[in-house]
């Protein structure tokens, strides 16, 4: 880690202010050329700690950058992760667009755990055994750190995305709650319509071949921090479609076939 504790807390406060003001920050990686992935996670954790001090409650985790194409574009060889908080959880229906800066919608599966997952060696089979049920989910991602540099138009780097809580901002859970062994998870598909037009389709196999792979990875990734996945937590396993930009007034229809269909609208 290259960042001092004071700098970590300063950047966490900047993220908190950006979320409240809806004014994006310039890239941390541009301001601090020696920034590391570890620095990014330290900033993200400090920001989440600020939110919890203000009364928020952690309800789980999200996994991002799960597709090979996204990893290559970010110049990394593994996913990233962030923390889900209680005020990020929405019901299908009206979603307040004013809560976000530049929201985008992703199609995912959520794992809801019935027992802890921890340690340096966790397998996908252990994930399935520890899962109470799997449910269709929409993740709403956002950018407190601007996606493209305001001067050069250079894209932000993975350090910036990680600092920004892996771009997490909201989630919707709906549809059937199914035993993870009841369905062939890699073959779960979804159709995402925006204002009546099919924008994205995909299979859950796009998440590293099987969505449980990412959940196992996350449990192992948390172990060096002395942390684990806990019973009752929600884990968003990663998007199997590209993110779709949303604006106030946009209507979305997420169709997961046998697992259900639901609608939501940014108002």
Q: Which residues contact 90 (CB under 8 A, 6 or more apart)?
A: 140, 170, 171, 172, 264
Q: Please give the average per-residue pLDDT across 232-238, as a whole number.
A: 97
User: Of 152, 146, 168, 151, which Cα lies nearest the Cα of 27?
Assistant: 146
Confidence of residue 70 (pLDDT cuts 50, 70, 90): low
Taking the C-alpha atoms of residue 81 and residue 179, their distance in angstroms, rounded to an integer, is 24
**pTM of this prediction exceeds 0.85:** yes
Q: Please give the average per-residue pLDDT across 241-252, as a whole number.
A: 96
**Contact status, residue 154 vs residue 148, Cβ threshold 8 Å:** yes
Q: Where are the beta strands (DSSP E) in 114-195?
A: 131-141, 168-173, 189-194
Which tens digit of pLDDT belongs to each residue from 5-62? 999 999 999 999 999 999 999 999 999 999 999 999 999 999 999 999 999 999 999 9
Print burial letters for 214-247: b (CB count within 10 Å at least 16), e (below 16).
bbbbbbbbbbeeeebbeeebbbbbbbbbbbbebe
State the chain's mean pLDDT as an integer: 94
Burial class (CB in 10 A: 0-12, 13-18, 19+), 99: middle
DSSP annotation string for 196-258: TEEEEEEEGGGTTTSHHHHHHHHHHHHGGGT--B-TT-EEE---SS--EE--TT-EEEEE-GG
Nearest-5° angle of CA 199, CA 200, CA 203?
A: 165
């Amino acid at each position: 880690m290259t960042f001092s504790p004071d700098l970590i807390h300063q950047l966490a406060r900047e993220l908190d202010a950006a979320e409240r003001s809806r004014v994006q920050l310039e890239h941390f990686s541009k301001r601090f050329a020696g920034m590391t992935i570890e620095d990014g996670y330290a900033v993200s954790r400090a920001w989440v700690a600020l939110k919890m001090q203000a009364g928020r409650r952690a309800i789980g985790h999200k996994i991002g950058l799960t597709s090979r194409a996204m990893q290559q574009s970010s110049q990394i060889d593994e996913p990233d992760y962030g923390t889900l908080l209680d005020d990020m959880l929405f019901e299908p229906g009206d979603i307040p667009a004013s809560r976000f800066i530049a929201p985008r919608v992703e199609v995912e599966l959520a794992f809801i755990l019935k027992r802890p997952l921890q340690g340096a060696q966790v397998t996908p089979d252990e994930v399935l055994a520890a899962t109470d049920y799997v449910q269709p989910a929409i993740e709403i991602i956002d950018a407190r750190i601007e996606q493209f540099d305001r001067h050069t138009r250079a894209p932000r780097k993975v350090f910036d995305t990680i600092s920004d809580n892996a771009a997490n901002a909201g989630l919707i859970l709906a549809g059937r709650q199914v035993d993870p062994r009841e369905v062939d998870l890699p073959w779960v598909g979804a159709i995402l319509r925006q204002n009546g037009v099919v924008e994205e389709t995909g299979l859950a196999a796009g998440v590293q071949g099987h969505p449980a792979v990412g959940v196992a990875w996350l449990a192992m990734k948390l172990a060096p921090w002395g942390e684990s996945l806990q019973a009752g937590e929600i884990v968003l396993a990663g998007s199997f479609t590209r993110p779709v930009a949303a604006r106030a007034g946009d209507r979305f229809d997420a169709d997961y076939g046998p697992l259900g269909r639901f609608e939501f609208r940014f108002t």
